[in-house]
Amino acid sequence: MSKYGITFIGHMCYDEVTPFGEEKIIAPGSAVLCGAMVTARVGVKTAAVVKMSLDEEKITQPMKDLGVDVFIIPADVTTYSRVLHKSENVDERDITLVKTAGLIKIEDIPELDSEYYHLGGISDSEFDMALIDGLKARGYRLSTDMQSFVRQITPVTKEINFGDVKDKKEIASKMDMIKLDVVEARVLTGTEDLERAAEIVNEWGCPEVVITRSDGVLARKDGKNYFEKFSNNSVIGRTGRGDTTFAAYQAHRLEHDVQTSLKFAAALVSIKMETYGPFKGTLEDVFTRIKEKH
């Protein structure tokens, strides 16, 4: 058994989120924070390798309090993200990366005994093929969220636009799991049909694919598709939906089958979306939600 179940790699950041028709909220965020808080809370030994300013180290404390081992890659600034929801459709939002901590290099990554290394970025400013090739050369099992490559920063305005990825097939072929949302799936595969999009990513060489959309989450493995609806009563905690879903799924998949893991992930993220910030519930909360609504 490896020391860590999952090691997250990426930036820590501050999220400035303005929900549709509401006041803005500023709080620590990032794919790493959302993911690591989930895996730690459900009992998976977790590490986080984060690039950020050492002056902001305090924002990693919630992870440490849950037993996450945090390894900081020093940067001049901590990434700052601004998210504006323009309508009641939670998948429609403007994202601006006001500041970014910059690319992570293979020499920045400690060699840890981990079942998975997960590349959890919020934009294309974090990872490149050199890092992926370096991690593969070490023999690690890898996963990634394709938002790390699809979200592309416009140099002058710092606005994030969603664009196709030149190396998408090569990236997919080097991953053991991949996560997308419906917007990223359309950009990369040309279709919003979740089953067809997952099939295409399979064909690129990734054996296990997870895709989220506003009403639920699909997983594809061994030529079979599985879908589970969300059961949330609110979308105040929409930011971090995908990161939370995939972290819950991947954590449960360490010891369970696809269908069981998908149900677990849908229930957990449904709880998360009902309050702002990372998942704050317990395993008992998740199993109660499964029993009552899944």
Predicted confidence (pLDDT) per residue in 5-38, tens digit: 999 999 999 989 888 888 888 889 899 999 999 9
For 33-42, 51-60, 271-280, which range has the lowest pLDDT when averaged over its residues? 271-280
Q: Which residue has the higher pLDDT, 200 or 91?
A: 200
Per-residue pLDDT tens digits for 84-141: 888 887 667 888 999 999 999 999 999 999 999 999 999 999 999 999 999 999 999 9
What is the spatial distance between Cα 292 and Cα 284, in angstroms, rounded to a whole number?
Answer: 12
pLDDT band, residue 49 (cuts 50/70/90): very high
DSSP category for residue 88: S
State the DSSP code for 122.
S
Alpha helices (H) along 9-166: 31-41, 61-65, 129-137, 147-150
Q: Give the CATH number, domain containing residue 206.
A: 3.40.1190.20
CB contact burial 205-222 (16+ within 10 A = b; e otherwise)? ebebbbbbbeebbbbbbe
Domain extent for 16: 4-293
Query: How many helical (H) and strand (E) elements, i.e. helices and strands, does the chain have?
Result: 10, 15
**pLDDT, position 121:** 95
- The answer to whether 176 touches 155, Cβ cutoff 8 Å, is no
pLDDT band at 55 (very low <50, low <70, confident <90, very high): very high
pLDDT at residue 63 is higher than 70: yes
- Model pLDDT, residue 27: 87
- What's the structural domain count of the chain? 1
pLDDT at 37: 93
pTM here is 0.93
Per-residue pLDDT, averaged over 286-291, amounts to 96
- Other beta carbons less than 10 A from residue 171's beta carbon: 24
Residue 88 has a pLDDT of: 81
8-22 exposure pattern, b = at least 16 Cβ within 10 A, e = fewer? bbbbbbbbbbbbeee
| Each residue's pLDDT tens digit, 222-277 | 999 999 999 998 888 777 899 999 999 999 999 999 999 999 999 999 999 998 88
Strand ranges of the sheet holding 46-52, from the earlier edge strand across to the other edge? 69-74, 46-52, 4-11, 114-119, 142-145, 177-181, 208-213, 216-221, 224-229
